[in-house]
Amino acid sequence: MLSFAGKRLLGLGHRVSAAAVAGRGYHERVVDHYDNPRNVGSFDKNDPSVGTGLVGAPACGDVMKLQIRVDEESGKIVDACFKTFGCGSAIASSSVATEWVKGKKMEEVLSIKNTEIAKHLSLPPVKLHCSMLAEDAIKAAVKDYEAKKAKEGNADAATQVEKA
Q: What is the pLDDT of residues 10-60, one digit of tens each?
A: 455 545 544 444 446 778 988 998 888 999 999 999 999 999 999 998 778
| CA nearest to 94, candidates 69, 71, 68, 76 | 68
Segment 91-146, tens digit of pLDDT: 999 999 999 999 999 999 999 999 999 999 999 999 999 999 999 999 999 999 99
CA distance 96 to 39: 9
Please report the pLDDT score of residue 85 as a whole number: 94
Architecture of domain 29-151: Alpha-Beta Complex (3.90)
Instruction: Please answer whether residues 104 and 78 qualify as being in contact, where contact means their C-beta atoms are separated by less than 8 angstroms.
Output: no
CA distance 131 to 119: 9
Is 60 annotated in the active site?
A: yes
Is 87 annotated in the active site?
A: no
Query: Which of 50, 70, 112, 130 is flagged as catalytic?
Result: 130
Please report the pLDDT score of residue 57 as a whole number: 81
CA distance 149 to 143: 10
CA distance 121 to 99: 13
Instruction: Please answer whether residues 134 and 92 qualify as being in contact, where contact means their C-beta atoms are separated by less than 8 angstroms.
Output: no
| CA nearest to 21, candidates 69, 87, 85 | 87
CA distance 128 to 101: 20
Domain segments of the chain as ranges:
29-151
Please report the pLDDT score of residue 162 as a whole number: 53
Query: Which of 18, 40, 54, 60 is flagged as catalytic?
Result: 60
Task: Record the pTM.
Answer: 0.79
Please report the pLDDT score of residue 2 as a whole number: 46
Torsion sign over Cα 152, 95, 132, 135: positive
Burial group, residue 20, by CB count within 10 angstroms (0-12, 13-18, 19+): exposed
